[in-house]
Every structure is written in C-alpha cells, then in structure tokens.
Amino acid sequence: MSKIRVLVADDHDIVRFGICSALKTSADVEVIGEASTGKQAAAMYESLKPDVVLLDISMPDMNGIEATRAIIKEHPGAQILILTMHLNEEYLNQVINAGALGYLLKNADIEEMLSGVRMVADGKQVFSNEIARLMTEKYIRSAQGSNDHKPVNSPRLTRREKEILQKIAEGKTSQEIAEILFISPRTVDTHRANLIQKLGVKNSAGLVRYAIEKNLLSD
Amino acid sequence: MKKTDYLSDVMHQGDLFRQFMSKSPVNLAMLDTGMNYLLASERWIQEMASGEGNLVGRNHYDVIKNQPAHWREAYERALTGHSEKFEQDIFIRPDGKLDWIRWEVSPWYNPSNTIGGVIIFVEMITQRKKVDEISNRLIEQRSRMAAKVETIEEERRNIARELHDGLGQLLTAAHLNLDLGEQNVHKNPDKAREDIRRAKELITTTIREVRNISQNLRPAVLDDFGLVPAIRNLCDEFYRTGTLDVQFSEYEMQDHYSPAIEIVVFRVCQEALNNIVRHAGASEASIDLYNRESHILIVIQDNGQGFEPARISQSGTGSGLINIKERVELLGGNIQIESQLNEGTEIIIEIPLKSVQDQPIV
C-alpha cells in the first residue's frame, strides 16, 4: 500500500514541527513538503501534487482560505484539510465555501489528526467534534427559525424604514415626515437614500411605486 | 499768581488731560448730556468708530449706529447718576464683525456738582474669550485623556488577571501533571498515562481560553476575511448566545477597507450591540451597512425602551455611546442618534472613506 503524501503549511515553525512529528508517527502517512505561507503552499502544490494538504488559516502572504481557493481553482480535485485554532461559524462558512474537505481544530489529538488525513485522502469530509456541534446548532436554529421568519424574497425593512416609506408614498415631504416621527429631516433623507439603495429603485418615485406594489399604503 | 500764568496753567492742564484721554491704550470716551462726544481716546476712534477721525461734537448714535436698547437704557441711568457695568456683551462693528466686549458707563460731574455727561469705557475681550475657550477645551481634553488612560490601565489589569489567574494556573497544573508522568513513566506506566492525559485536558482548556481572550482583544475574522464577515460573525455571536436577535444586511460593501476604518466600524457595531443588550431591553436589533461614494453609512436600530438623547451628554449614562462618538469623530465621521422613550433607538453613523489626515483642517 502506498503512503498518503502530505503537504503541511503553518507559519509557526514549532507548530509545523509538532504537526509533522505527529504525522510521522504513522506508517501510512508521509510528509513530503512544508510551507510557511499560503502562497508557498499553493506553489508547492503545483510541484509536489500531494494527496492531502494540511493548511493553517491565519498565515501571512495568502491565508489558508485564499490558498485553498487558489489550489482548488487549478485542481478542483485537491484534497485540503484545514487545521486551525479558530472555532466559529464564519470560519466554517469560509472553509466550506472555499472547497476544503475538512476542518480540524489544532487541539485535536494525534489519532484524530491522522484519521482526518486518511479520510480526506479518501475524499471524505471530516470535522472536529466541536465544529460538528457548531454545524448542528446552526441547522437547528435555521430549522426553528424557518417557522417564525417568512421566506425573504424582498429586503427586510426595519420598522422605522417602513414608516418612512409609507409616509413617502403618501406624498409627504422630508420636513413633514420628520415632524410626524419626531426625528430630524436629515435622518429622513438618510433613510430615503438607504431605502432607494435597499430596494434597488432609482429615486423617490420608485419608492412610491414599490410601496404601492407591496401594498404598504394601507396600514 | 498772575492771570496769564493762571490761564496758561489751566490750558496746560487741559492739554495734559486731553492727551491723557486720547493716548490711553483703552477704549475711552467722554460725552455730554446730549450724548455728543467731548473726547475720545485714539483706541476708541480706531476700534469703536473704525477710524473716523475727529469725533468731537458728533453724536454717539450717529457714530455707532443701531445700538441695542439696553445700551440706551444704561446711558440714561448713568445720566441720572448710576454707573452701569456689563461683563459680557456683543459689539457689532461697522464692518459687521462681532466682538465680545466688557464695558462700563458712569456719569461725570461739573464743578457745580451737576451731571455733565457720561464716560464710557469698553474693553475688547474677544481674544481673551477665545483663549478661555481653548483653555477650557484643553482642560476637558485632558480630563478625557486621563479617563482614557484609566480605561487602558483597567483593561490591562483585566488582561493580566486573565493571563495569570486563568492561563497561568492551567499551565502550572499541566506542568505538574507532566512532572508526575515523567516520574511515573518507569515504575507505574498506567499512572503515567493517566497523568499525561490530565495534562492534555488542561492544555485543551488552555487553548480554548487563549482563543476567547484573543478573540476579545482582536477579532481574527476581521484580519482573515474582512469587515463584512466580521460584522456578520459578530451578529451571529449575539444571536447564538441568545442575547439578542440581530439582523444584518449590507449594501455594496467592499471586501476590504483601510485597517483604521475596519476596526472603527467593527468596534462601533460591537459597542452598540453591547449597549443594546445592557441598557435597551430590546428583543431585536438590526445593523445595516451601506457603501456610499465618499463614506460608509452604518444604521443601527433596536426596538428597546429608548431614551432622551439629551441625557447622554450629561452624567455617566451612555458612556458606551460616548465611546462610539469619540471613535467616529477621530476618523472625521459624524454620528446622529434618534431615540424616544419606548420607541427604540436609531444610530446613524457616517465614516468618511478618505482618511482624516488627507482632509484640510478647517
């Protein structure tokens, strides 16, 4: 059986050394290259064509996510495993969108890391338990939320914006609206500009049309 | 004494008096009961009558037009024997420029002890007022600076405590367990394995702590992915921890801005959301970011109890809002707060895209 050839990228030498030492404890894994920036990792991918890339995220000169995108763009089948300190949803989104197969936390133990490498080498997705929990929470939240939030097909307007849109549609001037709502005319103008951008219309007339189409005139 | 001597003496004294009046480096004028000039110092002619030459015989109301009613009343009272003093008043020069003045009017007496007219003394204090204002501003700035230094120190104290009490203790315990493991490795391998396992657990906890501390100090998402993901993540965090349902939208925002702008927008949103959680009693909030031609517009709204905006300038309430205001103004931006009791709060902030250093100082 041939060994799994791994490229390791991390900007901290000691951490990279630790990762490599951990990987070398297994007979079926072989570290064929080490990089300390994202750019270097992408370049080394070209020359080495490893089976698996272990990438840190926070690195100088192209972070791990950008490196993942760059590698996947050229080699859509590249098998990339992200190994990072960061535990939060935004990182998860970015990792998945970039096309990496797995996301492990750096406090993973050696067995977890090795089995992660093997699974990714096999084309399977792998996530640390804590990441998996994050995904589950996110799913539960969106499932619960889908009952009380209507599907969003038009931009969500705040209460204040709805009030102002209504008044604009009723033909009131900024000055009049300001007086009715006890806010400054300047704030009304800001909202007007925001509404135009939010709703993707050209001008105040567009706002009026929108309000009529969406039936916002009747209170 | 001969009569000629006496006369020349009187004339000499009169001349001395006139010189004394006219050369005094103050605004001084002597008028008769009909408010006609008898004498005026050179400075008066320069500053009060814009250099109109000889004023003697001319009427005060012709020389200085449109005098306010309280001036006339003061002259009238002086003509009945009362002195009047105004510590701060406004004088509109003929060219329309405003000056701050301090002035006095008092009667003067004939040898027969009847009132012969008034003497008016005016001091220009515009310059002094400006200096006072600047010095007041400096004093205010200094006390704000002191408060800021205090905040920084407080923050450092907290970080030091978190490092020492939190991480320090965890690492010490891990070290201890590894020590034990080392001692046990030959005589009791099972025990050694157990010691090492405990050390690993402690280190895992330490890593989690480090993550929390560093996240609070500096949001890594901001550095790794930019402003929009960082704000989205911030809103998610509030929602995830169940503290606040924050709706986030952005319109045509760019991937990256200058680090100074990014951190201000982030901190402002963070501070505003913290504020809402702490004070507003709101169940929902929203953050909208708009990229405009010359600035970023941030609109933060909540459905909480609101407050009277006038109140934030006084007292300690709303120090969060003052922090926001200071951060925004430092970048040359401006902030507008609309709030009414029980009607929620709305904060509108503009951050110019061009850094404040590039703009001329007005």
Using a pLDDT cut of 70, give the percent of chain B over it: 94
DSSP letter at B206 equals: H
| Residue where a domain stops, chosen among B107, B124, B141 | B124
Query: pLDDT tens across B78-98, in order?
Result: 999 999 999 989 888 877 788
Residue of A nearest to B229 (CA): A90
Residues near B124 by beta carbon (within 8 Å), at least 6 away in sequence? B27, B47, B91, B99, B100, B101
- Round the average pLDDT of chain B to a whole number and report it: 86
For A90, the domain range is: 4-141
Q: What domain count does chain A have?
A: 2
Contacts of B219 in chain A (CB under 8 A): none
Which of B347, B356, B222 minimizes the C-alpha distance to B294?
A: B356
pLDDT of B313: 53
Residue A154 lies in a domain: no
ipTM exceeding 0.90? no
- Domain match, B111 and B167 both: no
- Domain match, B24 and B148 both: no
Name the pLDDT band for B149 (thresholds 50, 70, 90). confident
Question: What is the C-alpha to C-alpha distance for residues B180 and B194, in angstroms, rounded to an integer?
Answer: 10
Query: pLDDT tens across B13-32, in order?
Result: 888 888 888 888 889 999 99
pLDDT of B317: 52
Residue of A nearest to B231 (CA): A90
Residue of A nearest to B246 (CA): A158
| Residue where a domain stops, chosen among B124, B142, B169 | B124
Query: pLDDT tens across B310-352, in order?
Result: 665 544 456 678 888 888 988 889 898 888 788 888 899 999 9
Q: B361 pLDDT exceeds 60? A: no
- Domain match, A30 and A113 both: yes
Which of A5, A40, A19 minimizes the C-alpha distance to A112?
A: A19
- Domain match, A46 and A137 both: yes
How far is residue A174 from each of residues A37, A162, A165, measured CA to CA in Å? 54, 14, 11
Q: B290 pLDDT exceeds 80? A: yes
- Domain match, A115 and A165 both: no
- Domain match, B103 and B138 both: no
State how far residue B171 is from chain A, nearest Cα, in angstroms: 15
- Domain match, A121 and A188 both: no
Q: Flag if A87 and B303 touch (Cβ within 8 Å).
A: no
B232-260 mean pLDDT: 88
For B189, the domain range is: 131-215
Question: What is the C-alpha to C-alpha distance for residues A166 and A174, in angstroms, rounded to an integer?
Answer: 12
- Domain match, B253 and B312 both: yes
Q: Flag if A158 and B233 touch (Cβ within 8 Å).
A: no
Radius of gyration of chain B (CA): 37
pLDDT of B356: 53
Residues near B316 by beta carbon (within 8 Å), at least 6 away in sequence? none
Whether residue B318 contacts residue B312, with contact meaning beta carbons closer than 8 Å, is answered with yes
Q: What domain count does chain B have?
A: 3
- Domain match, A103 and A27 both: yes
Query: Which H helix or E strand runs over B246?
Result: strand B245-251
B59-70 mean pLDDT: 90
Residue B173 exposed, middle or buried by CB count within 10 Å (0-12, 13-18, 19+): middle
pLDDT of A151: 42
pLDDT of B311: 60
Question: What is the C-alpha to C-alpha distance for residues B84 and B76, in angstroms, rounded to an integer?
Answer: 10
Whether residue A24 contacts residue A16, with contact meaning beta carbons closer than 8 Å, is answered with no
Which of A47, A42, A10, A13 minimizes the C-alpha distance to A32?
A: A47
Find the CATH number of the domain harbouring B240: 3.30.565.10
Flag residues of chain A having pLDDT under 70: 1, 145-154, 217-219
- Domain match, B136 and B267 both: no
Find the CATH number of the domain harbouring B29: 3.30.450.20
- Domain match, B327 and B275 both: yes
**Choosing among A66, A84, A134, A158, which should be mutated to test the B contact, i.e. which has the most B CBs within 10 A?**
A158
State how far residue A58 is from chain B, nearest Cα, in angstroms: 6
- Domain match, B160 and B283 both: no
| Residue where a domain stops, chosen among A106, A141, A176 | A141
B111 three-state secondary structure: coil
The closest CB to that of B229, out of A63, A90, A194, belongs to A90
- Domain match, A134 and A165 both: no
Which of B334, B338, B339, B337 minimizes the C-alpha distance to B352?
A: B334
